[in-house]
Amino acid sequence: MSAFSSPEPYILWLTGAGVLITLVAWLPLALKRLPLSLPIICMAAGAAIFLIPAISFRPLPMILPDIAERLTEFVVIIALMGAGLKLDRLFSWRRWNVTWRLLGITMPLSIAAIMLIGVTLLGLPWPVALLLGACLAPTDPVLAADVQVGPPKSGEEDEVRFGLTSEAGLNDGLAFPFVNLAIALAAASSAPEPWLQQWLLHDVLWEVSVGLLGGWAVGWLFGWLTFHVPARSRLVQTGDGLIAIAATLISYGVAEMLDSYGFLAVFVTALTLRRSHRDHDFQRDMHALTEQVERLAMMVLLLLFGGALVSGLLAPLVWQDLVAALAIILIVRPAAGLIGLVGMPAERSEKMTLAFFGIRGVGSFYYLAYALNHGDFGSGERLWAIIGLVVLLSILLHGLSVTPVMRAMDRQQGRDPDQPELGRANDDVAA
């Protein structure tokens, strides 16, 4: 090949993949002290790439609905495994008090408020407005990495980080029933039929309980195979963090085959696997590999999101949609969060941080893709535009503010934000 001839597309893809992997490894460290986030960089890079005239492909989810659903699904389940593996706090109703408040009070209030906005301000039918609320109420487990706890045994598990991590891990068990309720109501509006009993017994009782039990069973099995079988046969002897990816895929697959909530099952699997031998160094290995896979998949998806933004994703928006999006980010979640935390023994600054950083992201995309692929909501172009706008605003507002806010909170609580490994070092010395 001539030195000046155009490179083959295959070579360009290889080069681009190398650049992407380099960014996955290097950017988190480079951005540690800056008021920027990895999602902002990825989104901007995607927009720049898809503005190149030679690239004719347009990554719009309306054009590729099945791919949109499956790609977002994969990113979320990997993130849920990573979130569960890094939680140090033992499970109990009292110790997880902040989680139950965010799930039991803040999320239902958020769904109701967003649904009301959808009906009154946006003029959406009730089932569509309910779907919008169910998609936008949950805190995202993927894009909230900067406000989540650190790796296992790192000492980075204050009440704020724990609350947001555990909420992001478990809120799918509450959000998904409302997605299914919206699908049922949309179907009933065109062909009236009984739906309440089916929704309560199957979508709520069966899918939540089986998701919890199935996740626990898979987590217990992998914990036993990894840490407790005879020494020569333990999976921990492999030293390969891919075990966590295997547990993720099996847990999700089994839950879905049992017609239950796979997201919930994966997070419970991760919690159970972590509890099987809390202090083993292999927990860090599993989390490290899961985090790398998650970051790589997230960056690919955000590159496509940036491309979708410059390809017309937001074209259907009207001014009311912008008002609604700002209200959801700046009013609904903070207000619902503060209401949910009333009476909790915590500093006001902690409560405000918990309330504000309800980051919206990849999970919202998945819920919408799933609902549009399984229900009768029309083309969904305006819904994609509204949710895309909310996620864009969340990435920008939360991404620009998270580093200074979390660093200030660490200093206020006597921690040095520039020494994240201090907690781990102390744990190791104590051991």
Helical (H) or strand (E) element with 72? helix 65-85
> Which residues neighbour 333 within 8 Å (Cβ) at sequence distance 6 or greater?
106, 110, 355, 356, 358
**Which residue has tokens 């009333």?**
342
Task: Give the E-state strand segments of 117-238 in sequence order.
Answer: none
Could you tell me the domains of the chain?
Answer: 43-420 (1.20.1530.20)
Whole-structure pTM over 0.85, yes or no?
yes
Distance of CA 246 to the CA centre of its chain: 19
| Amino acid residing at 406 | M
| Reduced DSSP (H G I as helix, E B as strand, rest coil) percent helix, strand, coil of the chain, to 5 | 70, 0, 30
Distance of CA 264 to the CA centre of its chain: 12
Main-chain phi, psi angles of 149, to 5 degrees: -65, 160
CA atoms within 13 A on the CB side of 30: 8
pLDDT (tens place) for every residue of the chain, 431 residues total: 455 555 666 777 788 778 877 877 777 777 677 767 788 888 998 898 899 887 888 999 999 999 999 999 999 999 999 988 888 888 888 889 999 999 999 999 999 999 999 999 999 999 999 999 999 999 888 877 777 777 777 666 788 888 888 998 898 778 999 999 999 998 887 777 778 888 999 999 999 999 999 999 999 999 888 887 776 666 777 777 888 999 999 999 999 999 999 999 999 999 999 888 777 888 888 888 898 899 889 989 999 999 999 999 999 999 999 999 999 999 999 999 999 999 898 888 889 999 998 888 899 999 999 999 998 887 789 999 999 999 999 999 988 888 788 888 878 877 766 665 444 433 433 33
